[in-house]
Amino acid sequence: MPSTTLELVRLRASQINGCSLCVEMHARDLRKAGEKDDRLFAVAAWREAPYFSDAERAALALTEAATRLPDRGDAVPDDVWNEAVKHYDEKALADLILNIALINFWNRVNVTIRQVSGALPKAA
């Protein structure tokens, strides 16, 4: 599982959950990894943006479904799951699912204790 894909997943879940601290942190991490602003700015609208690979799109779709579990009866639709399976092997899927779960956990902790953007030390 590419580390950049996992950071995109963390950024997208953090956007959905309204965790400004995590949005800031993962955007910074992506930028440090060499990501271009075009991709960073387009994560929230990844379906409409041309900057993401099919595998990244599958990971982002799974992230949205797993992050928004209560929004639908079929929380993770078959088409979303099948697209992820098409791009990732069993180990990569396990990494992806665990990372989605963990970022959702950290988003909830940080939102609950009111950790906000600007709380991170500024990069030198």
| Beta carbons within 8 Å of 124's beta carbon, 6+ residues apart | none
| 96 occurs within a structural domain | yes
**Count of structural domains within the chain:** 1
d(C-alpha 63, C-alpha 104), whole Å: 10
Tens of pLDDT, residue by residue over 17-47, are 999 999 999 999 999 999 999 999 999 999 9
Instruction: Give the rounded distance of the alpha carbon of 111 from its chain centre.
Output: 16
| 32 occurs within a structural domain | yes
Tens of pLDDT, residue by residue over 88-102, are 999 999 999 999 999
| 74 occurs within a structural domain | yes
CATH of the domain at 87: 1.20.1290.10
pTM (predicted TM-score): 0.92
